[in-house]
Chains A and B, each alone.
Chain A
Amino acid sequence: MPPRNIPLHTRLPKTYHIASVKRETEQVTSCTFDVSLGSRPGQFVMLWLPGVEEIPMSVANDDGKQLQITFFAIGETTRKLASMKKGDLVGLRGPFGTFYEWKPKQHLALVAGGYGAAPMYFAAREAAKDGCTLSVFVGARSKGHLLYLPAFRKLPRTTLYVSTDDGSQGFKGFNVQLLEKTLKEGASPLAIDQIFACGPERMLKSVSDLSFRTKIPGQLSLERYMKCGFGLCGNCVVDPLGIRLCTDGPVVRNDIARKITEFGKYHRDELGRKKMV
């Protein structure tokens, strides 16, 4: 048999009962399952509602016993998922893709926009276990959309910076602006070893530019339309590199992201048509 580079359980969904449901904000919900898929921070799973649809979903936590996802009920499928209860059946396959990587005791700046806070918390929790020092920049439209703040506060060696677009909590403006301000005013740029980011593409583009200017290495989680998750369908192939973000992403190093000319400009829909960011 030829070598198998994608494990079997990632190619066929298996259904699990929802172990718990938690309403995080008005539109954001978390679901927990009593299963570990061995996911690393930044990876995603394909989540299947039998008879409805399957969608990609970032892993908000996978501690070896339980897996958690946190999502914004924005479309038909996520709204259905948000209305599900403990004990309902949901299919999972994965984990897929690349993940955030760090070295023990590094100083990491984590930039999280909107529900990007969920996977970023997973990264923070795991990096904290490796003795990393964390500067976490959580941003959202307004106070009611800020996620995971109490959880971040509980982590060791962690400084939390909060920003909202409307100034309803913390710094008024974008989290990237707050990071830049902090780099200038506070510790010297050299104090930060890496910047990790997860959030809307405009935010990622700003982080990418900042990482490039300051020469602090960055790792960004890029989102593209994905169907299969294991490199066959071609929907998540990016211009002009031709890499598939389900296998070569979603977490890419900033030097790679900067070679993706569509990054910050357009992405492709389910028909492969270009859609401006």
Chain B
Amino acid sequence: MKKDKDKILGKVTGDEYKFGFYTDIEQDSIGRGLNEDVIRKISEKKNEPEFMLEYRLKAYRHWLNMEMPGWANLNIPPIDYQDLIYYSAPKQKTKPGSLDEVDPELIETFNKLGIPLEEQKHLAGVAVDAVMDSVSVKTTFKETLADLGIIFCSFSEAVREHPDLVKKYLGSVVPYADNFFAALNSAVFSDGSFCYIPKDVHCPMELSTYFRINAANTGQFERTLVVAEKGSYVSYMEGCTAPQRDENQLHAAVVEIVALDDAHVKYATVQNWYPGDKEGKGGIYNFVTKRGICKGDNSKISWAQVETGSSITWKYPGTVLKGNNSKSEFYSVAVTNNHQQADTGTKMIHLGKNTSSIIVSKGISAGYSNNSYRGLVKVARGAGNARNFSQCDSLLLGDKCGAHTFPYIETDNKSAVVEHEATTSKIGEDQIFYCNQRGISTEDAVGLIVNGYAKEVLNKLPMEFAVEAQKLLQVSLEGSVG
């Protein structure tokens, strides 16, 4: 039986990346390397107002004095920042007015990923802001959203059309000096998504952006800003797939979320970038800074993520609970296989009174991978009656992989109640036996158990995403199982 299981686990963990392909689209790039001229060029190409260029330069100058942090439980090969291309946009002569005008090859790429723009447009009722490399290609459902006063557009468009909003909120959650990669992103970010929900508006559909990294050697520097005004609600989805490439690619995005009084923002991520091949060659470096702030009273930010891709994942989506009675949730499944590495988790910073947060993190390691949860729960002195519950479970599939837990719990207020628990285990023989006994094959049992293990998090994803996430889990781990 053990042999049987090993075989299944082997099959499960031996599955190849299914989304590896490369679309040949003419690219408009600035040469390799980074200096002030490159930043000026990026800003110029995007027709940005003066304040953006200044912001970029300020960030760049600060970045020059920073060093890449080395505290993570990761083995990162040195990155030559002068060998990266900082701007690359699919070349288009004119802006497409309708879907028919969009490059058919581009559409084909999305079709291969199972994200047919047209179908989604008609059937799923999802407005997709498809980002391929750095420039937003097509925004759908914009008119419907515009009727409600919702702004959902590419970041560069927002900079041009809504400079006041951008100026007010850009860098308010993740300042450019926040960390090494945030500074780099602030200096060179090419595009991203901007979302603004006006007061008391309940966004009627799931907003979604699909990111793709396409051109070789292009660091993708996304910038996402979500602002939810008083009493509003939005559910935002971000999904990622990237084609198979041999050279490591750097992805250093910044996501900022602002929730004002009584607002509720849900932010879901499915990340399935190319994780490298079985020997650990290639793959994406995913060094992302994601942070939300519950600025107003009674506001809420929910994070849900499924991380299956990237050769190195290094990110801590977090929430600053500033408003009184604000809430935050973090639900995460992180899967690492072969030679993938992940050091991921969350930060919950309690500043307001009666704030509460929940963290549920499920790690699954297989192959030769290392999967670490690192999370901070900080209760500031004035955060009376703060409440946190964290649960971090790790599942090990195979004896060559590692699962680690590094929680940081800093409590500075006597009325706080902070709890943390974690377990590390493998699939129990008894669990398999129980299933076998009831006529479920070992193969199905492994699938059943892994899915059941992650269910608590998958349930938190929006419907449209849950299916894809489940599929991803299977692709990443289960092979033909389950």
A and B associate in one complex: no
